Structure formats: structure tokens, C-alpha cells
């Protein structure tokens, strides 16, 4: 037996289908230029002029003094790409891990530099530092005054070690290159985070990007 739908019902269904088929409202888009995107993030920075010196060239750089709730120990020159990733890293990995494991947010990120016109440690190619595309971070100072040091706390079983392992793993999902105390002697006291061409995560756990 065939059931005939009432004309009113057919019209209502047609309207419903038309509503489903209409395109969704446009999503709010982030600006296309990295510098314009930085302006929408919770961070303090100033654009820096491009320059070349001693065979090293820095382009699209900014000088950053704060990411979210964490100040940098001193303002740091870095590429916009690195600044953007650090901003996300602070909000998504660093502060949540600090709150969860150490019960205090990170107030100061003590870094050992970003720009340095030099070759890679033990290599002949130029370091990402030569483009201000890398940062070395040694100590995380908490709002309660306590400090977490890569040198003292990477190897161990305490909360501070767990915190460093947690953010190290997070870093490997964000940055192109991650080095630390497991990598070589040159990195015994800091995390090296860069936005270079090559993807590597030389810490002693599985690269989360390769699972
Ligand atoms: Zn480095």
C-alpha cells in the first residue's frame, strides 16, 4: 500500500531540506599574515626590522617579552613562525601542565637566547639560531617562586621531572625540531625548540607525530 504525504508535510520537508543544504555561515578567519595573527594573541611583542649580518639573515621577526601568563627572562628576537608556536605552546601545554602537576602557573620562562649567527652544534650547516628561528629554554619559574630546571630536573621521578617530560612531549607536537638533555652534551641544560625545515624530536620518548 502506498502512503501519500499531505501537501503541507511535503512543503515542510522541502523547506527543511533546503535549510540543510544551505551553506554554513562563514567561519571567523584568522588573518593570513603571521604578524597580523600575533596581534590577536595574548602576548607582548614588537615587529623587528629584517637584517643581514655576517652571513646570517633574519626576516619576519618580532621581539617578544611575554606569552600569556609567562614573561620571558629578557625580550627575545624570533621569527614570527616561532613566536606563533610558542604562544600556542604556552597556552595549550605549558600552563595546563604547570597547573596540573605543580599547582602553580609558570610566571617566567628563562631562556638562553634565540638569535646567534653560528653553525649547528657539531655540524657544518647553519643553526636555526642563525635565523632567529630557535629558542633555548633552561628554567621555568613558577608564580609561587619555585623553579624547574632542565639541568636538575629532567632526569628524576618527582613532580618537576614529570612536568618537564609532559611539556617536552607537548613540544614535540608543536615545534619542528626539539632537542634536550637526551640529545647530546650540548643540550644538557636546556630545551632547544625550532621551526626549521627538518622534523625531529630527540627526547627519550616516542615522537608523538610518528605514532
Ligand atoms: Zn638551540
Q: How far is the CA of 115 from the centre of ligand 1 (A)?
A: 9
Q: What is the DSSP string of 129-192?
A: GGGT-EEEEEEEEETTS-EEEHHHHSSSSSHHHHHHHHHHHHHHHH-SEEE-TTT-GGGTT-EE
- Assess if residue 131 is contained within a domain: yes
Ligand 1 centre to CA of 23 (Å) is: 47
Residue 61 in any domain: the answer is: yes
| Residue 26 resides in a domain | no
Q: Is residue 100 part of a domain?
A: yes
Q: What is the pLDDT of residue 11?
A: 56
Q: Of 202, 170, 40, whose CA–CA distance to 96 is shortest? A: 170
Angle subtended by helix axes 80-89 and 159-174, to nearest 10:
140
- Has residue 24 been placed in a domain? no
The whole-number pLDDT of residue 7 equals 58
Cα(117) to ligand 1 centroid in Å equals 12
181 alpha carbon – ligand 1 mean position (Å):
12
Instruction: Let me know if residue 20 belongs to a domain.
Output: no
In a domain, 6, yes or no: no
Asked if the structure places residue 8 within a domain, the reply is: no
pLDDT (0 to 100) of residue 19: 52
Residue 99: CA count within 13 A, CB half-sphere: 9
Per residue of the chain (211 residues), give pLDDT as tens: 455 555 565 555 555 555 555 666 666 677 889 999 999 999 999 999 999 999 999 999 999 999 999 999 999 999 999 999 999 999 999 999 999 999 999 999 999 999 999 988 777 788 999 999 999 999 999 999 999 999 999 998 899 999 999 999 999 999 999 999 999 999 999 999 999 999 999 998 655 556 4
Q: What is the CATH number of the domain that holds 84?
A: 3.30.1380
**Overall domain count for the chain:** 1
Domain hosting residue 94, numbered range: 31-210
Distance 36 CA to ligand 1 centre (A): 27
Centroid of ligand 1 to alpha carbon of 155 (angstroms) = 20
Question: Whole-angstrom distance between the N-terminal and C-terminal Cα of the chain?
Answer: 56
> Rounded to the nearest whole angstrom, what is the distance from the C-alpha of residue 205 to the centroid of ligand 1?
20
Amino acid at each position: 500500500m502506498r502512503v501519500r504525504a499531505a501537501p503541507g508535510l511535503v512543503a515542510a520537508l522541502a523547506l527543511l531540506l533546503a535549510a540543510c543544504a544551505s551553506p554554513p555561515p562563514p567561519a571567523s578567519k584568522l588573518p593570513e599574515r603571521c604578524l597580523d595573527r600575533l596581534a590577536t594573541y595574548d602576548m607582548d611583542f614588537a615587529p623587528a626590522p629584517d637584517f643581514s649580518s655576517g652571513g646570517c639573515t633574519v626576516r619576519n621577526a618580532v621581539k617578544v617579552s611575554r606569552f600569556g601568563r609567562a614573561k620571558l627572562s629578557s625580550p627575545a628576537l624570533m621569527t614570527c613562525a616561532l613566536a606563533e608556536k610558542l604562544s600556542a605552546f604556552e597556552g595549550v601545554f605549558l600552563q595546563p601542565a604547570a597547573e596540573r602537576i605543580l599547582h602553580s602557573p609558570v610566571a617566567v620562562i628563562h631562556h638562553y637566547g634565540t638569535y646567534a649567527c653560528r653553525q649547528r652544534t657539531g655540524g657544518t650547516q647553519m643553526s636555526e639560531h642563525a635565523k632567529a628561528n630557535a629558542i633555548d629554554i633552561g628554567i621555568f619559574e613558577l608564580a609561587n617562586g619555585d623553579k624547574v630546571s632542565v639541568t636538575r630536573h629532567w632526569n628524576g621521578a618527582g613532580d618537576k621531572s614529570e612536568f618537564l617530560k609532559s611539556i617536552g612531549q607537548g613540544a614535540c607536537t608543536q615545534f619542528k625540531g626539539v632537542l634536550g638533555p637526551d640529545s647530546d652534551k650540548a643540550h644538557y641544560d636546556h630545551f632547544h625548540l625550532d621551526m626549521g625545515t627538518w622534523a625531529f624530536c630527540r627526547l627519550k620518548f616516542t615522537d608523538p607525530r610518528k605514532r
